[in-house]
Structure 1
Amino acid sequence: MKPTWIASTVIIVLLLAVLPLSYQLWPARTPVAAAVEAGTPIGGPFELQGAHGRRVTEQSFEGQWLLVFFGFTRCADICPTTLMQIAKVLDGLGEQSARLQPLFISLDPERDTPEVLAAYTTFFDERILGLTGSPEQVRQVAEAYGVYVRKVPMGDTYMLDHTGSVYLMNPDGELATLISLQGAPADGVRDISAAMGRSRDG
């Protein structure tokens, strides 16, 4: 019994040491949360490229709601999971989905060409529009949305550590709310419908 007690004590001590550090590091990885709390504007003008290198700006979606998510096509977990959830939310919204344009903005312009993105997003739902651009264009839009991104070397390649927030932007280009897609898609449908309803009533 004694070795088990010692092992349990060691695990608890390690957890108590690591958890405060994780708590300190997490805000740095989610600057969007701090920006929202501080009332800092989220979003703004941008110029990116869609399928076939077509120029796309915020004015391309005038009068539409936007569901914006940042990631990259070689992402192994949060990106495909979130895009699958977005596809389910679009189905759940029914006719309301016609008012909503989902955008998947790549944080990896070195590898995510317009053609690569188009094939990737179509796999999840043809309504999801993949956007990329020059490194400077991508950096600018990421900063405007408070997105954290860090390149993590892995042998002769790399992965990206990045913010997983999903932004619901109203037709005026303002942040309506952050949408959580970690639960059931019905929760996302409810939150988006409620935001659209409040805007219409207002």
Structure 2
Amino acid sequence: MPSQRSWTFILYRWLAVSLLLALAACGPAGPQFMATDITGADIGGSFQLTDHTGKPRTLADFRGKVVVVFFGYTHCPDACPTTMSELAGAMKQLGDRAKEVQVLFVTVDPERDSQQLLAQYVPAFHPSFIGLTGSDKQIRAVADSFKVVFQRASGQADEKNYSVDHSTGSYIFDKTGKIRVFVNYGSGGTVFAHDLGVLLAA
């Protein structure tokens, strides 16, 4: 279990992100999303990482698609498989429109999450999903741009079997590459499918 200090660290960072999201939500009326509308928020941006096939990838590579970015790790016991399963369910609900959606899973545990492991884990939820990795410095820079916090849980002596405390929300970009929606952990596949559908129809 994450330590009290770890959760306090995440809580303070999350409060800061929540304030930013609240301010973004006060903008002009737009599409009616079920999750949080963060259009115009200073979150995310261009990045370059490596996908699970070894190919360099940037956010711009997926321009023309609605993109979901989620940060997690393959050894995650609950939050990550739950969110990935919800996204897989949303893709099923979208039917043919799912071809216009790209889910990107950015690892926060590059030490253990090799390209080979990501190639087994990520597409297992849906064949179109892409896993992304990079150096510790690259991952940290991308996470910081998304206001995502992560750290190895303290008090764990096992160098190979450890957990990582991390933010669990998902970020959705429209077809032009603009940040639009933040989906809280546990919102469910229907929320993803609805908000993805709104952006696909825009």
Matched residue SS, 1:52: coil
Which ranges in structure 2 are unaligned for 5 or more consecutive residues? 1-6, 25-40
Following TM superposition, by how much is the alpha carbon of 1:193 offset from its aligned partner in structure 2, in angstroms?
Answer: 1.2
- Paired residues in the alignment total 178
Q: Counterpart of 2:90 in structure 1: which amino acid? A: V
Correspondence list, 1:27-38, <5 A: 27-29=12-14, 31-38=16-23
Q: CA–CA distance in 2 between the matches of 1:37 and 1:106?
A: 27
Following TM superposition, by how much is the alpha carbon of 1:189 offset from its aligned partner in structure 2, in angstroms?
Answer: 1.1
Matched residue SS, 2:152: strand
* Greater RCO, 1 or 2 (C-alpha within 8 Å, sep 6+): 2
Q: CA–CA distance in 2 between the matches of 1:30 and 1:105?
A: 22
Q: CA–CA distance in 2 between the matches of 1:173 and 1:136?
A: 24
User: In the alignment, which of 142, 166, 172 is matched to residue 168 of structure 1?
Assistant: 172
Correspondence list, 1:104-183, <5 A: 104-153=105-154, 154-157=156-159, 158-180=162-184, 182-183=186-187
Q: Label 1:50 to 1:91 Cα distance change in 2 as closer, same or farther (>3 A).
A: same
Deviations 1:143-173 (A, max 9, x none): 1111011211422133111111111111222
Following TM superposition, by how much is the alpha carbon of 1:25 offset from its aligned partner in structure 2, in angstroms?
Answer: 6.5
Which ranges in structure 1 are unaligned for 5 or more consecutive residues? 1-21
Q: Label 1:175 to 1:30 Cα distance change in 2 as closer, same or farther (>3 A).
A: farther
Contact 1:35 1:146 in 2 (8 A): no
Instruction: Return the TM-score normalized by structure 2.
Output: 0.79
Q: Counterpart of 1:156 in structure 2: which amino acid? A: D
**Runs in 1 of length 4+ with deviation above 3 angstroms?**
22-25, 29-32
